Structures are given as structure tokens and as C-alpha cells.
Amino acid sequence: MAKTKATNTDPNWGVLAQYEDPAALTHACEKVRDAGYKDWDAYCPFPVHDLNEAMGLRRSKVGWIVITGACTGLILAFLMQWGTSAVLYPTVIAGKPFWAWEQFTPIFFELAVLISAFGAIFGMMALNGLPRLSHPLFNSEQFLRASDDAFFIAIESKDANYNEATTRQLLEDAGATSIEMIEEDQA
């Protein structure tokens, strides 16, 4: 039977838990992942080895967006240069054929890099739901330390497994040093 998600009537956005160090954060992420939560994230001031595995994250889709952009750039460069040199303005220069592609290889490379770079930037922004100028976590004084010296897990109340008491207990059992309920933005 398919699991249906109930509508969230909770006024809270979710819960924020702080941890001592990267090892405690990684251990807590494993516990949250094993409990079946889906709408949650971990925040830390520097990359933590094995955190992606502890969270159960899949590989990013940005790589596929980049390779698609690179192939699109190559095809556009080919069509643009072939169209201008062999179709629109066919001119024999130094006895070369109308389509002498060798001199166009820098353009192939440059257009492939340009389109793939735009794909990486805009694809990453779209996958991350950016730009988002305000987030409920920004209202927490504790969370301001996430970019300095603190380690956090935030679980959203929209998660199907979310229950304020059981979620709070899970985070406490996982070694949280402090837990804070985060209220939804009133915009």
C-alpha cells in the first residue's frame, strides 16, 4: 500500500539540533537516516569525510547537466561554423574544402566550456531551489555558527515521519548538545 503524506498543520518549520564535532554529527546523521527521515539536512563549517554516505545521499545530477551542456555547445559550434563556412558563405581559401574543420577546434572547445559552465551554475541553482533570500533557519541565533564552528542537523516538519516529541527524542539520543524548535517564516 502506498504511503500518503498527511498535510502539515504544525506551526513550526522543524527542529534544529547542534552537535559537538564532525564525528558526533556523522553518527547522528546515520541515526536520522536509519529512522527513515527524508526532509532533513546537515550543516557544518567545512567538508566532513563520509557525511554524504551517513546521510544516504545519491550522486549529484549536476554532472549530467554539465555533460549535456558540453555536448550542446559542441553541436551548436559545429552547426554555426559549418553553416557559415560551407552553406551561407562558401569561399575557397588557399584551396581548402568548404568544410575545413581544423581551424574551428578552439571554437568547439570554447563553446562547450561556456554552455557547460552555464549549465553547472543554473542547474545547481535550480536543484538547490535557489535563489531563496529568506529561510526559517536564518532566524536562529545558534545557526549563525554553522559557517564558523558548529555542526547541525535540521529536520523539517513536512517530513512524513516527523513528530515533535519522537524527533526531538531521536536527536537527543543521537547526542545533540542543544535542540531548538524553528518557527515558520511569517512572510
Q: What is the mean pLDDT of each run of 10 residues along the chain (187 residues)?
A: 48 93 96 96 95 94 97 96 89 82 92 98 94 89 92 96 95 96 78
Contact 70, 115 (CB under 8 A): yes
Q: What pLDDT, on the 0 to 100 scale, is given for residue 11?
A: 78
Instruction: State the cell numbers at 147.
Output: 559557517
Contact 160, 38 (CB under 8 A): yes
Residue closest to 24 by CA, chosen among 151, 160, 142, 185: 151
Q: What pLDDT, on the 0 to 100 scale, is given for residue 36?
A: 96
Q: What pLDDT, on the 0 to 100 scale, is given for residue 4?
A: 43
Cis peptide before 131 (omega within 30 of 0): yes
Rounded Cα–Cα distance for residues 91 and 120 (Å): 38
Q: What pLDDT, on the 0 to 100 scale, is given for residue 173?
A: 96
Q: In angstroms, what CA-CA distances link 46 with 49, 124, 143, 151, 155?
A: 10, 19, 15, 10, 20
